[in-house]
């Protein structure tokens, strides 16, 4: 059973999402919040697998709430569900640690699939948003030689696996090196790319 926390300041949106989830045998809505502050509190108490997070809310917004929830419970999967699909909302949400980004006009089946994919460790994105991310990544490849010129070959290997979302242990196994060595490379990568955290490093690797 996938435990879901709904966060949106509009009651009708939450009610619709609850009805949609409650009709599924593998989803359970364990709580609702209409602001980011309550979302942080409920996430700590209810321990949901997936948080469906709105971005624009009074008081603590969705981006701040995402950062706070993940600081306390890094394993929580936070899927953004918003009306605003522009870069000013997309990239801050991803930098905060959101695993996916869907728009509120998405079909019900896409929303449900997004929750399940988020719970499974995947990254659900609305088609338009995904196309924009891919286009940006393609354009960034032109700058790749300059961007990676100061990185060692091993650092580039590690960077590529960070961008794929692999953990330190998984990277160590893939490259046949120690976890401590992986941590050393990631620290060096963060310094060279001026990335304050792992998520920002992954976005840098993807051209973000």
**What pLDDT digit, counting tens, does each position of 25-68 carry?**
999 999 999 999 999 999 999 999 999 999 999 889 999 999 99
Which of 119, 55, 115 minimizes the C-alpha distance to 84?
A: 55
Tokens at residue 143, please? 């700058």
Q: At what angle do helices 36-46 and 62-72 cross, to 10 degrees?
A: 20
User: Residue 160's pLDDT is what?
Assistant: 86
* Residue 134 scores a pLDDT above 70: no
Domains delineated in the chain: 2-130 (3.40.50.2300), 140-205 (1.10.10.10)
Give residue-wise pLDDT tens across range 81-129: 999 877 778 888 888 889 999 999 999 999 999 999 999 988 888 877 7
Give residue-wise pLDDT tens across range 141-170: 445 545 555 788 888 889 888 888 788 888
3-state secondary structure of 117: helix
User: Residue 147's pLDDT is what?
Assistant: 58
Higher per-residue pLDDT: 182 or 130:
182
| pLDDT average, residue stretch 174-178 | 90
User: Residue 207's pLDDT is what?
Assistant: 65
Bridge-partner residues for 52, per DSSP?
Answer: 6, 79
Bridge-partner residues for 2, per DSSP?
Answer: 27
Confidence band (pLDDT; 50, 70, 90) for 136?
A: low
**Residue for token pair 């990568």:** 189
Tokens at residue 185, please? 């490379």
Q: Phi/psi zone of residue 22: left (φ > 0), alpha (ψ -120 to 50 degrees), beta? A: alpha
Higher per-residue pLDDT: 205 or 174:
174
User: Residue 142's pLDDT is what?
Assistant: 44
Query: How far is Cα 34 from Cα 157, in angstroms, rounded to an integer?
Result: 42
Burial class of residue 143 in the structure, from the number of CB atoms within 10 Å of its CB (0-12 exposed, 13-18 middle, 19+ buried): exposed
User: Residue 195's pLDDT is what?
Assistant: 79
User: Residue 137's pLDDT is what?
Assistant: 54
Higher per-residue pLDDT: 74 or 150:
74
């Amino acid at each position: 059973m996938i435990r879901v926390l709904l966060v949106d300041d509009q009651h009708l949106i939450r009610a619709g999402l609850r009805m949609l989830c409650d009709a599924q045998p593998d989803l359970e809505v364990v709580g609702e919040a209409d602001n980011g502050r309550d979302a942080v509190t409920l996430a700590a108490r209810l321990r949901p697998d997936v948080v469906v997070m709105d971005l624009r809310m009074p008081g603590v917004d969705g981006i701040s709430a995402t950062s706070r929830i993940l600081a306390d419970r890094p394993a929580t999967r936070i899927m953004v569900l918003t009306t605003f699909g522009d870069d000013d909302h997309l990239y801050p949400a991803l930098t905060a640690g959101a695993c996916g980004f869907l728009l509120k006009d998405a079909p019900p089946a896409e929303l449900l699939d997004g929750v399940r994919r988020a719970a499974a460790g995947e990254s659900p994105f609305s088609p338009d948003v995904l196309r924009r991310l891919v286009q940006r990544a393609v354009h960034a490849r032109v700058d790749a030689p300059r961007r990676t010129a100061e990185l060692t070959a091993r650092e580039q290997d590690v960077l590529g696996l960070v961008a794929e979302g692999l953990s330190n242990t998984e990277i160590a196994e893939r490259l046949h090196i120690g976890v401590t060595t992986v941590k050393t490379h990631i620290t060096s990568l963060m310094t060279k790319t001026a990335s304050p955290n792992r998520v920002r490093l992954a976005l840098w690797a993807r051209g973000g």
